Amino acid sequence: MSTAELLVKCLEFEGVQYIFGIPGEENLDVIHALHNSSIKFITTRHEQGAAFMADVYGRLTGRPGVCLSTLGPGATNLMTGVADANLDGAPLIAITGQVGTDRMHIISHQYLDLVSMFRPVTKWNKQIVRPDTTPEIVRKAFQEAVSEKPGAVHIDLPENIAAMPVVGKPLEKPTLEKSFANYSSIERASVAISRAKNPIILVGNAAIRANASSSINEMSNRLKIPVANTFMGKGIVPFTSKYSLWSIGLFQKDYINKIFEKTDLVIAVGYDLIEYSPRKWNPNGEIKVIHVGVEKAEINKNYQPMVEVVGNISDSIYEILRRSDRQSEPHYAFELRENMKKDYELFANDESFPMKPQKILYDVRKFMGEDDVVISDVGAHKIWVARNYHCYKPNTCIISNGFASMGISIPGAVAAKLVHPNRKVLAVTGDGGFMMNSQELETALRIGTPFVTLIFNDSNYGLIKWKQEEKFGNSEFINFNNPDFEALAESMGLKGYTIHKSDELIPTLEDAFKQKIPAVIDCRVDYSENLKLKYRIKDL
């Protein structure tokens, strides 16, 4: 057996279902070893697409998504998706081909020191230089990828090592025991929560990874504490819950920020500082914080917890519940929630065209089911998705908000459809993000993952325009021309649509999701609402 074949056996033993990537000269032995493997290799059209697929697969399943490239430009193309997974806390394994070890000491065609290059964007990485170390390196890679905080790891395999004969077998996976918080921290947290006048729960993505939705809902309902979620914590509490205050994280102060001006205690559950900086909601560091998480809190002058409850999140919450008591309803939060609901309903019957972003997302929410999945790209539309697309359940709206890379939605939707073949999957993207990885729609067609892509079309980089206008009063260098997206879709063998008036969107979504092939919907958007939102918020 070759090193490449042993590598593949180790990946099979780890439960890998898919590898996303592109064959190259320096990974030929791995590709050959995959030919008779139970692992399905999905050939993508760009390595960045492969990395994004692995990224979203990891985030949705909690198991590492695996992507593969050759050396040099293939490996550098992976890096954006690898960095995205690492900052967003998605487990990912990136495997790169490499020149033979006999060529590394001299200038060689396409040679780069990939271990050094990937080090800043991964939790751990290693080059296989001895065939018999392969099982240890693979086991270590998977262990690092899933341990809290999850992230990306990298394995570099030189072509001559890949072809060498080896004797070995995969290493057994140990059973990991839960860790539990100490009773002293639980007791102190319970006392602080019971005494607080206006507490609020702030939920982040780690709570979703920990499957802590039930415990957080019970805490909120029994102790009558309102809940706000980060962009990446959507759905941990159903948006229909009377204690849900929806998402915080807009770069401007919004309705929900008012609650943080009133609170005397923030219970941060599974909260990662990268999701929404504490200086935005605790600028003076004066709000008391209880940190509940699997890991200790990051060091930050605006986030200095009075108590850190470190251990299994659900167990910690249930132990806190056993010791806490609160009776009064948060009427100030109910008042705020009513105002938020009125704002949300403002555009329910708006018939203007181009469509307002609020109306597009109102109709999308109306159409999509509770279990269906939205994958948001990055751009002005992401802010509106975060603010106006509300969720019933965790992992039904995927937003990249750590690395926040454009181009994630279409490859991410491919992965989401592989994970959830029986759910509707909608990629929501701007025209800028669409053109960055639209080639992966061919991948979706070829492998039979029919999802729908909805393009917010404004012929410019809308988020940058928004920020330029706020800062300077004008915009520069953000305009571009688009192809006919409907015709482009049809030319790729997909189903294409163009929205001409607002009442066409829901019927078009209905028809698009009936197709057995991927579909693309081009919808013109009126982003004048971006600055109008700023002034509406100022009136608060």
State pLDDT tens for residues 126-161.
999 999 999 999 999 999 999 999 999 999 999 999
Same domain flag for 159 and 189? no
Q: Give me the mean pLDDT over the 515-536 stretch.
A: 89
Q: How far is CA 464 from CA 403, 470, 524, 532, in A?
A: 16, 10, 18, 16
pLDDT band for position 175 (50/70/90)? confident
| Residue 423 and residue 527 share a domain | yes
Please tell me whether residue 17 adopts helix, strand or coil conformation.
coil
Same domain (yes/no): 397, 295: no
Confidence (pTM): 0.95
- Crossing angle, helix 183-195 and helix 313-323, to 10 degrees? 60
C-alpha of 2 from chain center? 36
| Amino acid (1-letter code) at residue 345 | E
- Encoded amino acid at 70, one letter: T
Whether 169 maps to a domain, the answer reads: no
Q: Please report, for the domain that includes residue 381, its CATH number.
A: 3.40.50.970
Residues constituting the chain: 540
The predicted-structure confidence for 207-223, as pLDDT tens digits, reads as follows 999 999 999 999 999 99
Asked if residue 170 is part of any domain, the answer here is no
Give burial (CB, 10 Å; 0-12/13-18/19+) of 440: buried
Q: Which of 269, 300, 331 is the last residue of a domain?
A: 331
Kindly report the three-state secondary structure assignment for every residue of 395-459. CCEEECCCCCCCCCHHHHHHHHHHHCCCCCEEEEEEHHHHHHHCCHHHHHHHHCCCCEEEEEECC
Residues 58 and 156 grouped into a single domain: yes
Domain containing residue 191: CATH number: 3.40.50.1220
On average, the pLDDT of the chain sits at: 94
Average of per-residue pLDDT across 311-320: 96
Nearest Cα to 151, choosing from 94, 88, 108? 88
Residue 304 lies in a domain: yes
pLDDT digits (tens, 9 = 90+) for 41-80: 999 999 999 999 999 999 999 999 999 999 999 999 999 9
pLDDT of residue 203: 97
In a domain, 168, yes or no: no
Residues 135 and 232 in one domain: no
Claim to verify: residue 154 and residue 117 sit in the same structural domain: yes
pLDDT the model gives residue 160: 94
Residues 103 and 237 reside in one and the same domain: no
Residue ranges with strand state E in 215-361: 227-229, 244-247, 265-269, 288-293, 307-310
- What count of Cα atoms within 13 Å lies in the side-chain half-sphere of residue 498? 9
Tell me the C-alpha distance between 172 and 136, whole Å.
Answer: 10
- Based on the fold, state whether residues 265 and 152 are members of the same structural domain: no
How sure is the predictor about 251, in pLDDT bands with cuts at 50, 70 and 90? low
In the structure encoding, which two tokens stand for residue 277, read together? 């900086």
Closest CA to 487 of 449, 438, 535: 438
**Does some domain include residue 378?**
yes
Residues 145 and 53 in one domain: yes
Residues 410 and 261 in one domain: no
Number of domains comprising the chain: 3
pLDDT recorded at residue 540: 60
- Residue 246 lies inside a defined structural domain of this protein: yes
So what's the pLDDT on residue 255? 82
Q: How far apart are CA 74 and CA 70, in angstroms?
A: 5
In terms of domains, do 385 and 462 share one? yes
CA atoms within 13 A on the CB side of 247: 29
- What is the SS3 assignment for 173-188? CCCCCCCCCCHHHHHH
Q: What is the torsion angle, in degrees rounded to the nearest 10, for the CA atoms of residue 516, residue 522, residue 523 and residue 527?
A: 130
For residue 87, the enclosing domain spans 3-163
Handedness of CA 454, 42, 16, 75 (dihedral sign): negative
pLDDT over 90, % of the chain? 85
Cβ atoms 77, 46 nearer than 8 A = yes
CA distance 271 to 206: 6
Residue-wise pLDDT tens digits, 263-313: 999 999 999 998 999 999 999 889 999 999 999 999 999 999 999 999 999
Q: Is residue 404 part of a domain?
A: yes
**Per-residue DSSP letter, 112:** -
What is the reported pLDDT for 105? 77
Residue 529 to residue 534: CA distance in whole angstroms: 9
Band (pLDDT 50/70/90 cuts) for residue 382 is very high
Report pLDDT for 538. 67
The DSSP output letter for 103 is: G
3-state secondary structure of 20: strand
Instruction: Give the CA count within 13 Å in the CB-facing half-sphere of 379.
Output: 30
Same domain membership, residue 189 and residue 152: no
- Both tokens of 185, joined, read 């921290």
Last residue of a domain, one of 163, 194, 214: 163
In a domain, 379, yes or no: yes
